């Protein structure tokens, strides 16, 4: 077993999560320390300016913020033996330009004096995969850890929503049928952008803005008519793929716009559940969206099975993504696959990631 440390900075642009997992890359033995470092308003604006760009000074500035903040956060874990560093996604277009996560794992390895696994997505994209989502192999390990015996779903509500259908009756995550994973649609990102632009706040705390509004059903119907929802999984999204959502609500009041964007997130998940081979026993919500009671209420009304935060089964929804990259780092180091046709649409099981060892540059 290895004490691995993972770090995640999502497209919600809230901050950096770091968390330890004791794992052999297949089985989770235990969870260790964790830490969260919120981005300052200035750092968040630098990262936001780089979104959707592939090159240029905005990308370089975003990379500097990413590297600096991660080095600060990860330095506090002296017992960690290996680090999984996801970096910051700025652009994701696997069928066109590829995928871009800024962050220099080799420099981070030198700075921290520990092996760093990074650039997790490029190999998957190069082999025809979507490059996302990558947490499903960890979700499979989590299902085994909690003793699940029937199919269940993990729903990550970050900047983009993604769903993992896990059948724990299979032995390994790469087994055909063990996992189905895909992005359900926009989640927190459009609401965050709306309240930041209109109200000067980074997110809709406790769903208070949305709760005071009314959903505009016409805009919701237009949203669900998007071709993306008719595509079979695996499929993935860039944070800005549904930028036109904001135009659908631009004439609405702040409250009605927030309520409608929140309903769009829930509706995308409900559409995605139709791809499950059999009804899941439950949906376990993770990511920042699970803290939004309005969104959670909408999901419970929309879905035909219990929906609850992952804390209900003893997991940490704030750190699950960071823990995933700790687990994946060990898989990469051991030469195990990190994605499969059922999770990213890649042509064959692939173990993505570059391992940088201090002193080998």
What does the pLDDT profile of the chain (361 residues) look like in tens digits? Answer: 999 999 999 877 889 999 999 999 999 999 999 999 999 999 999 999 999 999 999 999 999 999 999 999 999 899 999 999 999 999 988 878 789 999 999 999 999 999 999 999 999 999 999 888 899 999 999 999 999 999 999 999 988 899 999 999 999 999 999 999 999 999 998 999 899 999 999 889 999 999 999 999 999 999 999 999 999 998 888 777 887 788 899 999 999 999 999 999 999 999 999 999 999 999 999 988 999 999 999 999 999 999 999 999 999 999 999 999 999 999 999 999 999 999 999 999 999 899 999 987 5
Distance of CA 131 to the CA centre of its chain: 12
> For residue 238, what pLDDT is reported?
75
Tell which residue, 104, 122, 135, 112, has the closest CA to residue 331: 135
What angle separates helix 57-74 from helix 105-112, to the nearest 10 degrees?
30
Looking at the chain, which residues constitute the CATH 3.30.420.40 domain(s)? 2-130+322-356, 136-313
Whether the Cβ atoms of residue 47 and residue 196 lie closer than 8 Å to each other: no
Positive or negative: CA dihedral 246, 203, 305, 179: positive
| 3-state secondary structure (DSSP) of residue 53 | coil
Q: Report the half-sphere exposure of 262 (CA within 13 A, side-chain side).
A: 32
Q: What distance in Å separates the CA atoms of residue 115 and residue 246, rounded to the nearest whole number?
A: 42
CATH architecture of the domain 136-313 equals 2-Layer Sandwich (3.30)
Structure tokens at 2: 């290895």
Positive or negative: CA dihedral 271, 162, 100, 45: positive
Structure tokens at 193: 């952008």
CATH architecture of the domain 2-130+322-356 equals 2-Layer Sandwich (3.30)
Q: What distance in Å separates the CA atoms of residue 215 and residue 261, rounded to the nearest whole number?
A: 8
> For residue 361, what pLDDT is reported?
58
Q: What distance in Å separates the CA atoms of residue 118 and residue 8, rounded to the nearest whole number?
A: 11
Residues, the chain, total? 361
Q: What distance in Å separates the CA atoms of residue 267 and residue 184, rounded to the nearest whole number?
A: 9
Q: What distance in Å separates the CA atoms of residue 192 and residue 344, rounded to the nearest whole number?
A: 27
What does the DSSP assignment read for 258-298?
Answer: HHHHHHHHHHHHHHHGGG-SS--S-EEEESGGGG-HHHHHH
Radius of gyration from C-alpha coordinates of the chain: 19
């Amino acid at each position: 077993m290895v004490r691995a440390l993972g770090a995640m900075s999502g497209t919600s642009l809230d901050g950096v999560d770091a968390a330890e997992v004791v794992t052999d890359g297949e089985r989770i033995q235990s969870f260790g320390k964790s830490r969260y470092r919120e981005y300052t308003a200035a750092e968040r604006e630098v990262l936001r300016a780089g979104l959707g760009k592939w090159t240029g000074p905005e990308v370089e500035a975003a990379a500097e913020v990413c590297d600096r903040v991660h080095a600060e956060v990860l330095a506090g874990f002296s017992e960690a033996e290996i680090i999984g560093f996801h970096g910051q996604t700025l652009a994701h277009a696997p069928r066109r330009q590829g995928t871009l996560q800024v962050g220099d794992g080799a420099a981070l390895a030198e700075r921290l004096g520990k092996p760093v696994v990074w650039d997790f997505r490029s190999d998957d994209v190069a082999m025809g995969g979507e490059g996302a989502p990558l947490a499903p192999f960890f979700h499979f390990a989590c299902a085994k850890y909690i003793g699940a015996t029937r199919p269940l779903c993990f729903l990550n509500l970050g900047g983009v929503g993604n769903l993992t259908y896990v059948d724990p009756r299979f032995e390994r995550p790469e087994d055909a049928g063990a996992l189905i994973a895909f992005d359900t649609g926009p989640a927190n990102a459009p609401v965050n952008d709306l309240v930041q632009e209109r109200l000067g706040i980074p997110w809709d705390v406790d769903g208070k803005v949305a709760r005071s509004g009314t959903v505009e059903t016409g805009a919701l119907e237009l949203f669900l008519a998007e071709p993306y929802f008719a595509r079979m999984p695996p499929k993935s999204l860039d944070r800005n793929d549904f930028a036109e959502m904001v135009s659908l609500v631009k004439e609405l009041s702040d409250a009605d716009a927030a309520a409608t964007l929140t309903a769009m997130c829930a509706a995308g998940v409900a559409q995605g559940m139709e791809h499950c081979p059999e009804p899941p026993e439950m949906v376990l919500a993770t990511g920042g969206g699970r803290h939004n009671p309005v969104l959670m209420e909408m999901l419970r009304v929309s879905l035909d099975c219990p929906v609850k935060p992952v804390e209900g089964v003893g997991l940490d929804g704030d750190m699950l993504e960071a823990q995933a990259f700790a687990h994946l780092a060990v898989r990469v180091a051991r030469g195990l696959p990190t994605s499969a046709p059922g999770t990213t649409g890649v042509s064959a099981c692939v173990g993505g990631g570059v391992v940088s060892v201090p002193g080998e540059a």
